């Protein structure tokens, strides 16, 4: 049996934590439907559009990119209208806005970003555009800490899952990990217990961050767990 665990809203959790945005942290902590909230607040036509909008903005999306992206063609907004949506987002999540500004300023001043999680650093340098002007890679600057932080958290979860599985004595193996998911294999009789261990490995991330990196993770973490005989035939595993 395959057990698949996906960390919920990994990138959003990382951004909320690093920016210390109280509104976003509250929505995550209270398990509110953030994307439905933002569909209403930002005046977007669907929850899915609101969800994709947020993820892309956290990764450096711009009004121009939204206005010219086929994925958003159904919305029909002009670049000016998308900028108004972005401004509304930053008004609601003001600490995300100030965090974006802060990390861009840090790169322009030092030429690097340092992860607050564990001190990993990422060098940057400006590139010349077609007119010969030096431009900093703003999209990459906004993207790196979120992607790297997510990868670091999943690494901790994977290590904790391996430890818990070894301690349990269950017949099970971790067999793959891709982005925000961890997959284990086990006999059918161990499905529930292995799924519970994978979920626990995510829920204990705040304690693990403190223990390994002496870092206080500000957001609670959770995951969705599924099981099936193959990756195409998965169903939700209800864990209590």
- pLDDT, tens digit, 9 for 90 and up, residues 10-21: 999 999 999 999
User: What is the rounded average pLDDT of the residues 30-34?
Assistant: 94
Q: Kindly tell me if the per-residue pLDDT of 32 is higher than 80.
A: yes
Q: Check residue 8 and report its DSSP letter.
A: T
Rounded to two decimals, the pTM is 0.91
**74 falls in which pLDDT band (50, 70, 90)?**
confident
For position 231, what pLDDT does the model report?
85
For position 108, what pLDDT does the model report?
94
For position 71, what pLDDT does the model report?
83
**59 falls in which pLDDT band (50, 70, 90)?**
confident
Handedness of CA 55, 58, 60, 65 (dihedral sign): positive
Q: Kindly tell me if the per-residue pLDDT of 35 is higher than 80.
A: yes
Task: Report the C-alpha gap between 145 and 160 in whole angstroms.
Answer: 22
Q: Kindly tell me if the per-residue pLDDT of 164 is higher than 80.
A: yes
For position 149, what pLDDT does the model report?
96
**87 falls in which pLDDT band (50, 70, 90)?**
very high
Q: Kindly tell me if the per-residue pLDDT of 240 is higher than 90.
A: no
Average per-residue pLDDT for the chain:
93
Handedness of CA 225, 227, 231, 235 (dihedral sign): negative
Q: Summarize pLDDT for 178-210 with one digit per residue, the tens.
A: 889 999 999 999 999 999 999 999 999 999 999
**Pick from 72-76, 109-113, 170-174, 204-208: least confident:** 72-76
- The percent of residues in the chain predicted with pLDDT above 90, rounded, is 83
Those residues whose C-beta lies under 8 Å from the C-beta of residue 66, and which sit 6 or more positions away, are: 53, 56, 72, 77, 79, 82, 85
Query: Which CB contacts under 8 angstroms, 24+ apart, belong to 202-208?
Result: 202/5, 202/7, 202/157, 204/160, 205/153, 205/156, 205/157, 205/160, 208/156, 208/157, 208/160
Q: What would the two tokens of residue 190 be?
A: 């161990």
For position 70, what pLDDT does the model report?
85
Those residues whose C-beta lies under 8 Å from the C-beta of residue 3, and which sit 6 or more positions away, are: 172, 183, 184, 185, 186, 191, 194, 195, 198, 225, 226, 227, 237
Name the nearest CA neighbour of 2 among 175, 161, 122: 175
Q: Check residue 72 and report its DSSP letter.
A: G
Q: Check residue 132 and report its DSSP letter.
A: S
Name the nearest CA neighbour of 239 among 171, 193, 207: 193
Q: Kindly tell me if the per-residue pLDDT of 130 is higher than 80.
A: no
């Amino acid at each position: 049996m395959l057990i698949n665990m996906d960390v919920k809203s990994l990138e959003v959790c990382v951004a909320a934590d690093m920016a210390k945005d109280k509104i976003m942290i509250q929505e995550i902590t209270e398990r509110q439907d953030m994307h439905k909230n933002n569909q209403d607040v930002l005046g977007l036509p669907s929850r899915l559009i609101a969800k994709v909008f947020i993820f892309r903005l956290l990764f450096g999306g711009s009004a121009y990119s939204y206005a010219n992206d086929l994925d958003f063609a159904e919305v029909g907004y002009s670049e000016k209208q998308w900028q108004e949506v972005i401004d509304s987002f930053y008004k609601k999540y003001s600490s995300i806005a100030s965090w974006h500004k802060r990390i861009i300023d840090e790169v322009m001043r030092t030429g690097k970003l340092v992860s607050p999680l564990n001190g990993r650093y990422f060098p940057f340098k400006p590139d010349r555009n077609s007119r010969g002007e030096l431009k900093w890679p703003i999209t990459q600057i906004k993207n790196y800490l979120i992607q790297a932080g997510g990868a670091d958290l999943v690494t901790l979860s994977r290590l904790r899952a391996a430890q818990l599985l070894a301690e349990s004595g269950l017949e099970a193996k971790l067999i793959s990990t891709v982005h925000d998911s961890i997959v284990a294999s086990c006999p059918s009789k161990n499905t529930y217990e292995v799924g519970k261990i994978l979920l626990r490995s995510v829920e204990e991330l705040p304690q693990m961050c403190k223990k390994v990196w002496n870092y206080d993770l500000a957001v609670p973490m959770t995951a969705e767990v599924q099981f099936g005989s193959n990756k195409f035939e998965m169903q939700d595993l209800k864990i209590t």
